[in-house]
């Protein structure tokens, strides 16, 4: 199976395209929670480890997409270890 890290430049391009269309900050992580694509607030954090007690963890556990509209009102953001 191809690892996302092998195509990290493409992953970043996809993150930027999604962000442009949806006008949202986007992060794309791999199974090890490594941020391979990022825009907005986390654009400079590519190849850093994403927080585990966060929306990323919920997405990994459920397999469902996720979105946080306002981090100040999000239970997941209140629990996040990266704050």
For each of the chain's 83 residues, which pLDDT tens digit applies?
678 889 999 999 999 999 999 999 999 999 999 999 999 999 999 999 988 888 898 899 999 988 888 877 888 777 666 65
What's the predicted TM-score (pTM) here?
Answer: 0.84
Which tokens is 65 given? 């997409």
Contacts with 39 (C-beta within 8 Å, 6 or more apart), sequence order:
15, 16, 19, 25, 26, 27
pLDDT for res 68: 86
């Amino acid at each position: 199976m191809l690892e996302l890290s092998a195509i990290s430049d493409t992953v970043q391009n996809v993150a930027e395209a999604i962000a442009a269309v949806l006008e949202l900050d986007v992060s794309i992580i791999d199974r090890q929670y490594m941020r391979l694509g990022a825009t907005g607030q986390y654009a400079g954090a590519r190849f850093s480890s994403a927080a585990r007690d966060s929306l990323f963890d919920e997405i990994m556990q459920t397999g469902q997409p996720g979105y946080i509209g306002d981090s100040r009102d999000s239970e997941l953001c209140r629990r996040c270890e990266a704050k």
